[in-house]
Structure 1
Amino acid sequence: MPRTRLIRRRVRRPLLALLAATALLLGAGLAPAGVAAAAPTPSAPNEGGSKQLRAALDAAARGHIEAKARLDNSKRRQVALTGQLKQVELRLVELNSQVGEVAAQSYRLGRLTPVSMLLASSDPNAFLKRAAELDVMAQRDSKRLHAFTEARAEAAKAKAAIDIEVREQQKQLAVLAKKKRDAEIALARVSSGSSSGFSGGSTSAKPAPRNPDGSWPSESCSVNDPTTSGCITPRTLHALQQAQAAGYKRYVSCFRSGGDGEHPKGRACDFSAASGGFEDVSATGGDKAYGDSLANYFKNNASRLGVMYVIWYRQIWMPNTGWRSYSGGGSPAADHTNHVHLSMY
């Protein structure tokens, strides 16, 4: 074989291989006409924070909510008891005048006894009439005195019950003060102090079901999470549905297996600020306004929904501290500048 032909073959083979590889790469990178590329599934953000911090925030917020429910229930009982006492006192005023009539009558009769009054009757008919009158008077006076005694006892009982409620309220106020201190101590690790919060979110949510005494029922991760393949609590589902009904319909992720905090318990959701899902950048413009409004919506409806705390854009809201600054570690996910975090009771 001539030397020139051999050289051409040796040069041509690597060139053909290079061209084939280039065509393969271009073909893999281009989708056929009319076929849209699949959008990536947004992954849940790495929110940072320590297990100890989350546990401390949970305990402080949970303790506050429970003490507040007991305080409110005690106040309702006190109002009812106070109304009852007023009614009893009005009845006592009326009964007191009736008892006064009985006393005045006894004073006027002096030493006269029923027997002497009967013997003083002029004839048998008068005797019988006087006997009937005395019986009526005795029954009436007995009822008046009995009613008066019962009313006084009822008033004393109502006053004692009110005193108990006042002591209960003082006790719960002390618990609230302690839980506030606990929250402030926990937040001291990630917060430099109070902050201004956000605007928007003025829509009122439909209240979640409570127990007859005003407390929140105990719930487990028992209903399907519509945002993942996991589960959430009925109260968390209610909060999610209420937010969506209020117009907050961007990407959400609630249940997350493994780790600590409320996500594995079905008591937390992350609401993306961006319409396309969680982005590794801080929200700006319309996305920031969306997050502001959503965070304030949960804050405004906390008592209706059972919210423990909300974190958004380097701020955290708790019912016992209000808005405080928050530093989660510097990334958009850890500082919660790309999503609103909601933790439920």
Structure 2
Amino acid sequence: MFDQAQGLRDLAQQSRQATDDAPEASPKNHEITLREEQVSPAASKSRFFPPRVAHSIVDTRQLDASQLGYAVVSTQSPVSTPTGLSETPKIDRPKVARVIAVTSGKGGVGKTNFSTNLSLVLAKQGKRVIVVDADLGLANLHVVFGFTPERSLEHVLRGDCALKDILCMAPGGVQVIAGGSGIVDLANLTERQRDGFIAGLQELDTLADVIIIDTGAGLSRGVLAFLNAAEEIIVVTTPEPTSLTDAYATIKVVAHENPTAKQRLVVNMAQSEAEADAVAHKLTLIAQRFLGIAPEYLGFVPLDASVPRAVRAQQPFVIGQPHSEAAKAIEVIVERLGYKENEARPTGFTGFMNRMQRFFGFAEPGTK
């Protein structure tokens, strides 16, 4: 009988055997035989991309503004109707920021590194991007970017300044809200501190097209506050057994607490495309069977020597090593996210703020 725990144990065991038994230089040896369905690497014509969705890639450069989800205002004169009346050009409502939370469950899987490079590729495509370091106790996003912020969330929580006042421009044209070291968990802030922090989030809505929330690791109440408020969540995992188990736990909690959120999956540090595809397929299969949801597999980032070198140099690899395999993989993932933008119906940081308030029990009834 196939059960949830056995499925996870099988996945962990298969991943462990694939890593231990095969030489690192032979990606084909890392294929994992699935009991339910064999994933065929030959079915994929695009590296770093899940075979089942490779045909759905859209070149956003060939789309007009309305197809990309931007507000379009007509500059033409009113059109005369047969009755002699004029039609007023329709104006779409202002576009709100797209909020994406990046989480992992387990620490040490490269979540912050992924968030950093994801934001830089989005900025390269012309998006206004803000990254919020939401790991209030162990903030290190600015270290990966390679700069030292003058002010951080610590100054906001002390009441020294507003949230928008600590925005700083990082290398690559991304704005960053730096976290602080040693700050207590969001759930343990005073009501005044939490009110000020959440209210400040609303001001970011008009300052960005995309806001990336880099959460802390684990499933503390502070992390859950961000995951409950986000409309889009990317779960980052590696093929390691402990990482897979924690990733599933995160998917399960989000499915229960925030069932309308769009959950997506990225496999980081994969030895090969076959290994990443098999791991993602099995994890998605288990989630679909026991949770009734199927997190969308966005793709993978390969194990690449340029990544640790970039971390040591405090320079994101899409800047320092733009032609590396890891950088190319991030570009494919961003392309997939860009395609999904047409399907998004974001409520922006206003909606994010309302849902976070509701999580802590002081939102207005009926708010979304």
Q: Same fold (TM over 0.5)?
A: no
Which structure shows the higher strand fraction?
Answer: 2
TM-score (norm 2): 0.21
Q: TM-score, normalised by structure 1?
A: 0.22
Greater RCO structure (CA 8 Å; 6+ sep): 2
Larger Rg: 1
Higher helix proportion = 1
